[in-house]
Amino acid sequence: MEPFLIDVTMPAMGATVNELTVISLKVQPGDRVAKGQKVAELESDKSVFDFESPCEGVVKAVLAAGGDVKPSGAPFLRIETADESLRHLASGAATASAAPAVPKAAAALVWTPKALKLAQEAGLDPAGISGIEATGPGGRVSGDDVARYLATRKS
């Protein structure tokens, strides 16, 4: 069986969740993965969960970084596999030379989707907020952090 490349995409989490946050990636280009191996930790506005490799293979590219918010269906890993049951996912455009994602600057706050929504509903620009404590998973600004920030502004 000839190996081929597949793009592993962000999962669809239902009708109301259209984007997910990458909390952390557990693999790097060149890593061998087993089917069912934890490759990433992802977060929707409702939960944090482990994402597992759909196949055995070799990670050829990582197309996301911790803190990235990606829409459902967007590619975030590229794996070379010989698993014929995934041949339908083979991408003619998928090449191992794709540029990997560049990690975000450490000083920038990373917001959960829920936190962004709460801030925007309150009429705030998340990029312009300073002095907010980020206590969410991975040091991200959570919905609870935004609620505390809003409460301190009203008092």
Determine the CATH number of domain 4-89: 2.40.50.100
**pTM: predicted TM-score of the whole model, two decimal places:** 0.60
Give the DSSP H/E element, type plus range, for residue 7.
strand 4-9
CATH superfamily of 113-154: E3-binding domain (4.10.320.10)
Quick one: pLDDT band at residue 4, thresholds 50, 70, 90? very high
pLDDT, tens only, 46-87: 888 999 999 999 999 999 888 888 888 888 899 999 999 888
> Which residues lie closer than 8 Å to 147 by C-beta, 6 or more apart?
118
Report how far residue 120's alpha carbon sits from residue 129's, in angstroms, rounded to the nearest whole number.
Answer: 11
Report how far residue 122's alpha carbon sits from residue 141's, in angstroms, rounded to the nearest whole number.
Answer: 15
Reading the block at residue 86, the tokens are 């995934």
Q: Where are the domains of the chain?
A: 4-89, 113-154
